[in-house]
């Protein structure tokens, strides 16, 4: 593990992610992710709707972070990701939240979109581990990360749960303001796999280490989905699992974009599943058609963030 917090983790000139804003995060939150130096979060909860080996029977100890380095027009969590609602936390407070999640009996700590806070989240995880955090750490990411920054999580994160959202730079520019999305995400996922290797599970089927790549099928974009599956097959084979999500719902700005203002059809989703098997992939998760129900969208009310200590 590299403990030298300089260079890419320097918050005075933030180049943590592919945006390379150069923002001084210690004095302002004016970078693209709208985030200061210290982590801001909107909810710590026990989540039961992740993939089965992550949620298991006792749930996943999620912490939802505010701000984001993507601007997805269809983001279900836009109140926290783009409107930046949340509570700023010290490193010690965040470490206590991780420990209090563990006390609830969850299978893992699940960091949802924490990449833009990597230096302080890393410190909080190290502190929590020194104080008894022993369950696996899941790094749940939109995929738009720098591989060089992720290297600082080696030995700290056990399970990576990255999205690969787009292959086409035209789509990633239009829908997430990130024309270089695939170039960054493909390198990021390669680094994630290098760190944790093939998936492993305990005797109850709960994941202990590995990578699950998530892909949300978008309306009118099934051929882009095929290219992402080709990339996964060619680079990882069956060593990572793939979670194909059908839950796309036109929310937020997507309601104003004609081609995004509908659900994915059964034909579109099924054709992506068929392609998954056609190219020889075997291990993954599919969703049922009712997965777009609002029960899967968390209510961000800052609950679970007050550890009762100053
Ligand atoms: S983490 Fe935020 S401030 Fe830093 S480069 Fe990325 S978007 Fe910009």
Q: In this predicted model, what pLDDT tens digit does every residue of 30-40 receive, in sequence order?
A: 899 999 999 99
Res 11 pLDDT > 50: yes
Q: According to the model, what pLDDT value does residue 292 have?
A: 57
Record the tokens describing residue 112, joined without a space. 């949802």
Measured distance between the N- and C-terminal CA atoms of the chain, rounded to whole angstroms: 30
**Cα 39 to ligand 1 centre (Å):** 13
- Euclidean distance between CA atoms 198 and 25, whole angstroms: 36
Q: Is residue 246 within 8 Å of residue 269, measured between CB atoms?
A: yes
The residue with greater pLDDT, 30 or 119, is 119
What's the pLDDT score for residue 288? 78
- Atom 2 in ligand 1: which residue has the minimum CA distance? 33
The encoded tokens of residue 282 equal 């075997």
The answer, yes or no, to whether residue 295 has pLDDT greater than 60, is no
Distance CA 306, CA 108 (A): 20
Least confident among 31-45, 103-117, 199-213, 291-305 = 291-305
Atom 1 of ligand 1, nearest CA residue: 116
pLDDT at 153 over 80: yes
Percent of the chain surpassing pLDDT 90: 90
**Where does ligand 1 bind, in terms of residues with CB under 6 Å?**
14-17, 19-21, 23, 31-33, 35, 69, 116
Number of the ligand 1 atom closest to the C-alpha atom of 22: 5
Backbone angles phi, psi at 138, to 5 degrees: -105, 130
The distance from CA 108 to its chain's CA centroid, rounded to whole angstroms, is 14
Give 202 Cα–ligand 1 centroid separation in angstroms. Answer: 36
Alpha carbon of 13 to ligand 1 centroid (Å): 9
**The pLDDT of residue 4:** 47
What pLDDT is stored for residue 121 in this prediction?
98
Q: How far is the CA of 160 from the centre of ligand 1 (A)?
A: 20
Length of the chain: 310
Residue 3 pLDDT greater than 50, yes or no: no
211-246: per-residue pLDDT in tens?
A: 999 999 999 999 999 999 999 999 999 999 999 999
Residue in the structure block whose two tokens are 């700290």: 156
pLDDT computed for residue 294 by the predictor: 46
Q: What is the pLDDT of residue 7?
A: 86
Measured from the Cα of 25, ligand 1's closest atom is: 3
Residue bearing the CA closest to ligand 1, atom 3: 31
Per-residue pLDDT band for 2 (boundaries 50, 70, 90) equals very low
Q: What are phi and psi of 186, to 5 degrees?
A: -65, -40
User: Quick check: 287 and 72 in contact, CB under 8 A?
Assistant: no
Q: What is the pLDDT of residues 158-204, one digit of tens each?
A: 999 999 999 999 999 999 999 999 999 999 999 999 999 999 999 99
- The mean pLDDT value for 42-62 works out to 96
Question: How far apart (Å, rounded) are the C-alpha atoms in residues 43 and 200?
Answer: 29
pLDDT at position 307 is: 76
The residues, ordered by sequence, that sit 6+ positions from 149 with a Cβ below 8 Å of its Cβ are: 8, 9, 16, 17, 115, 118
Q: What is the mean pLDDT of residues 90-118?
A: 98
Instruction: State the average pLDDT for the chain.
Output: 94
- What is residue 246's predicted lDDT score, i.e. its pLDDT? 95
């Amino acid at each position: 593990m590299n403990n030298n917090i300089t260079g890419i983790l320097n918050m005075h000139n933030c180049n943590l992610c592919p945006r390379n804003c150069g923002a001084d995060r210690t004095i302002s939150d004016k970078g693209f992710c709208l985030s200061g130096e210290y982590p801001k979060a909107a909810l710590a909860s026990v989540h039961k709707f992740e993939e089965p080996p992550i949620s298991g029977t006792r749930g996943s100890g999620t912490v939802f972070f505010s701000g984001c380095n993507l601007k997805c027009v269809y983001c279900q969590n836009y109140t926290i990701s783009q409107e930046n609602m949340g509570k700023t936390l010290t490193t010690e407070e965040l470490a206590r939240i991780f420990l209090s999640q563990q006390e609830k009996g969850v299978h893992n700590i699940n960091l949802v979109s924490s990449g833009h806070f990597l230096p302080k989240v890393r410190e909080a995880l190290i502190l929590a581990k020194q104080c008894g955090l022993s369950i696996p750490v899941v790094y749940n990411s939109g995929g738009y990360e720098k591989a060089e920054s992720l290297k600082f999580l080696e030995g700290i994160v056990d399970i990576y749960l990255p999205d690969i959202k787009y292959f086409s730079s035209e789509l990633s520019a239009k829908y997430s303001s990130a024309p270089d999305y695939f170039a960054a995400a493909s390198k990021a996922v390669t680094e994630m796999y290098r760190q944790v290797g093939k998936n492993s599970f305990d005797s109850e089927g709960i994941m202990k280490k590995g990578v699950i790549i998530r892909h949300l099928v978008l309306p009118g974009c099934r051929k882009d989905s095929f290219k992402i599956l080709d990339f996964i097959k060619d680079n990882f084979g069956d060593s990572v699992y793939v979670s194909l999500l059908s839950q796309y719902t036109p929310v937020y700005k997507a309601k104003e974009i004609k081609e995004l203002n509908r659900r994915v059809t059964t034909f579109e989703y099924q054709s992506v599943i068929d392609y998954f098997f056609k190219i020889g992939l075997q291990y993954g998760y599919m969703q049922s058609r009712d997965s777009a129900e609002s029960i899967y969208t968390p209510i961000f009310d800052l609950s679970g963030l007050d550890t009762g200590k100053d």
